[in-house]
Structure 1
């Protein structure tokens, strides 16, 4: 069997310097695809695409990773904007929420990382805390803290012990989206992982950045689920 093909969302930087070039660029940190590869998958990067094309794109993939990045626009969950919330990333919100919706409809394995977990929650009708003091120490600086798994969850089966994880965020899950359960907490009670408890659907979100510490256990769970799905014929229709 070929390695399962895992799509990773990317984001657009309008001005990126490459020697003499200063151009708009679609990119993602290398740690994401390296983690997919370390877990036994093949990675493909997904730039933003036209509305209505998510199901077509996913039809060529076995699993989806929604990467970290800027704040989800609070208009997506019907909340007024906190002054500490970052500027809207309209194109990215639209594309990633469409990808998540199409992946869920197709019962494709999904892993949301940091912003990706928050987007997963929003896609299922949940809300976010727009700012939590103490979770961001300085711009661009990662901090580490322990997370505790919730017994009986898919995450706890993958990482059964309390684990020290790299994190950089100032927002968090507030009200859970439809069907989601909490599968890990920080010591202060902040939601650190969520999932759908359906044993036939692999959908997990983590608030931290596993691509920064190279712990591939959660990603290995996604890749294994994607491999199982790749062995099952799926008929796709465009919506």
Structure 2
């Protein structure tokens, strides 16, 4: 049986002074896919929707990576002083990619801003700055400590509970934006004790989606975090099989 192919978006930096434009990606994302038996395929920031549809028709799943912030002005909100928008070329591509992933029901895994993007693409919205928008929230980002962690509270009966089981769970945390209103097609599968959403999953039978605000691909992740990628790959396989039966 052929291995599942997982498309992964990449970060992008525009040309500046004597430095050329380039795409880049932390190896943890594709190493995790390789480790669990998938084939990662890194996508450049395509501009033609037909090209993106063609790519999506040939893969088994899509991983949306973390990175800088989504620009709230694209969703009709003001730009908060704490927001550091990602490069416009990447954001334009990422938003189109997320929209088409939803339309085509491609199995998806969103990490960090990738989870936030999936929520926004399906009608949800975001807190722009947790310290202001969630009074009494725990620290979710420590500029001095890149290994900052906090605990999670898992929702019973969810994929996250199946992955982590019982016991206290601590995850890495380095974000200042978070999901506010959850899109109708998603359920919360984990929260920080302060109520901030840390993981989501699809409640739509024909679309497998998981999302984590924390980064299971990072060096600060635990060995157990690889199970999330295994669940994603199983969901991608099942989704691909279902699409072949329909075709």
Q: Which has the higher contact order (CA 8 A, sep 6+)?
A: 1
Indicate how the Cα distance of structure 1 residues 225 and 54 shifts in structure 2: closer, same or farther if over 3 A, else same: same
Q: 2:29 aligns with which of 7, 32, 50?
A: 32
Structure 2 counterpart of 1:6: 6
Query: Are residue 89 (structure 1) and residue 87 (structure 2) matched?
Result: yes
1:125-164 pair list within 5 angstroms: 125-133=123-131, 134-138=139-143, 141-161=146-166, 162-164=168-170
Root mean square deviation, CA, Å: 2.1
Q: Higher strand proportion, which one?
A: 1
Structure 1 counterpart of 2:39: 42
Unmatched runs of 5 consecutive residues or more in structure 1 = none
Rounded Cα–Cα distance in structure 1 between residues aligned with 2:143 and 2:15: 23
Residues 30-49 of structure 1 show CA distances to partners (whole Å, capped at 9, x for unaligned) of 00001111222111111100
Rounded Cα–Cα distance in structure 1 between residues aligned with 2:113 and 2:15: 22
Unmatched runs of 5 consecutive residues or more in structure 2 = 132-138
Would the aligned equivalents of 1:73 and 1:88 in 2 still touch at CA under 8 Å? yes
Structure 2 residue matching 1:23: 3-state secondary structure: coil
Query: Are residue 98 (structure 1) and residue 104 (structure 2) matched?
Result: no
Question: By how many angstroms is 1:137 displaced?
Answer: 1.3
Q: Higher helix proportion, which one?
A: 2
TM-score by length of 2: 0.86
Q: How many residues align?
A: 232
Worse overlay, 171-180 or 203-212: 171-180
Question: By how many angstroms is 1:228 displaced?
Answer: 2.2
TM-score by length of 1: 0.89
1:204-215 pair list within 5 angstroms: 204-212=210-218, 213=221, 214=223, 215=225
